[in-house]
Each structure stands twice: as C-alpha cells, then as structure tokens.
Amino acid sequence: MKPRLVLGLFSLLWALGPTAARADGPMARYQGMHPLSPHQGAFCYIDAAHMHRVPPPDLRVYLVAKDGTNLFIGDPVALGYDGPKFGYFGPHPLAVPATLGLPPTFCYITGPHYHAAPQPPSAALVEKAGVTWYLGPLPPPADPGRVWINEVHPIAGYAAPKVDIGMAPPGYHAFTVAPPSAAPAPTPAATGKAKAALGPVPGAPARAAKRPVAPPNPTRGPTAPGGQP
C-alpha cells in the first residue's frame, strides 16, 4: 500500500470538484460494456475493466469472476445497446477475457440474439442468414442459474435477428436447455460464481415454455419486464 498515492488521489479529487462524501463501501467491478441499472435501456459503453458505485441489478445476465468482477453475457441489444452488433442463433461458446480466470463458457440464450463482439474464427462457427450458428460439440449442460438468462425480458422495441431454426445450416443441431422451472431457483451465491458446466439436465425442451410464475431475480427479488428489479 502506498498511502502517499492514495492521499495524492484524494487531494486531487477533493481539489477538483465538489465535496466528496464518504462512500458506502467497495465499488462494483465490471469488465466491458453492460446495461446500467435498472436495465431499462441505459447502457455503459466502457469496454475495459472499470468500477461503478452501483452493483448489477440482475445477475442472470452476468458471470462473476473470482475477484468479484461482473462480466455481462446477455444480449446487449435487448437491454439498450446501440453499437455494432453481431447476430447469433442458440447457444455458442463465449469469448471471455482470459484475465478474469473464468472457465470456458457458453452463452445459453436460446433462439436468435445479439452480442456486441464477433466470435473469433472457428470451424465450429458458421455464418448463415446473417447470424452465427454453432456446429461444434454439445455445450456442457447449463448451470440452473445460467438458464434464467432466457427469462430476461428485452426492453420495448427490441427486435431479435429475423431468423429461425428452419434457416440453420446443414449439420446444425438444436441445443436443449433445461427449463428454469425444472431447476431450483438460483440464489445470489449460486449465480454469483462462474460455473459454466454444472447441473446436467439432459433431454429438456429447447426453450422453456411460458411459465406460470415470474422467475425470481437472483439478487434483487422479482423482476419486471425488461429485467428491472
């Protein structure tokens, strides 16, 4: 610890702006772009490691690394992002920063969706009908907590890529994702860790049907449409 630097920074902050009130505690860490709380369309476009005073309001669309860094893994367009976008259909490997120490990770979003970054070149990824399809080995069964990502409602006006399973390239096999109702409700502790390959539920339907009850929010209680707490 170099207290002099902290003191210097404090002096800078106090000298440059309005009075700085004492914060409540550690700031939340983020890696890359992510929707801003309360997930009503505002988006953070900082594509680097950064910190916010406000923690994620909905961990269904995040992975949390061991150091507490939150990595957004949902469909950014569905939550307000308006930058360059790349279409996908169904589950596929996710490119996550190696610095986070996360295991190989899949996106378990069923159906058409977007991400802000293209996939690195891979023989298992084929582009057709304007979206990327994953033709590789079956992904590990999803952690029950990860399946909840399909229950996050997009903001009003969101339009997913106009593609369906009938447009799949030859060799594509639809992946099955356990319906959230078949899994225990995720807890903050369960969803707050990067477990990409837990909770095998083979043979489950590809997409959860309309569920009779609203999915629980892993961190902030029941959610409203749009993923807001």
Q: Which is nearer to another protein, 33 or 208 (CB)?
A: 33
Kindly write out the interface string for residues 14-53 of this chain, putting x where it contacts another protein by CB under 8 A and - elsewhere: --xxx-xxxx-xxx-----x--x-----xxxxxxxxxxxx
Please identify which residue in 13, 138, 182, 214 interacts with another protein, judged by CB under 8 A. Answer: 13
CB 31 to another protein: min, Å: 11
Cα–Cα separations (whole angstroms), residue 92 to 12, 89, 180, 199: 46, 8, 19, 18
Size of the site for another protein (CB under 8 A): 38
CB 41 to another protein: min, Å: 11
Q: Look at the alpha carbons of 144, 150, 154, 160 in this order and tell me if their dihedral is positive or negative.
A: positive
185 CB contacts (<8 Å, ≥6 apart)? Answer: 215, 216
84 lies in the site for another protein, by CB under 8 A: no
174 lies in the site for another protein, by CB under 8 A: no
Q: Which is nearer to another protein, 19 or 221 (CB)?
A: 19
2 lies in the site for another protein, by CB under 8 A: yes
Q: Look at the alpha carbons of 213, 218, 220, 225 in this order and tell me if their dihedral is positive or negative.
A: negative
Q: Which is nearer to another protein, 10 or 124 (CB)?
A: 10
DSSP structure class, residue 98: G
Pairing relationship of beta strands 125-128 and 131-134 according to DSSP bridges: antiparallel
| Alpha carbon distance 90, 113 (integer Å) | 8
The binding site for another protein (CB under 8 A) comprises 1-13, 16-18, 20-23, 25-27, 33, 36, 42-54
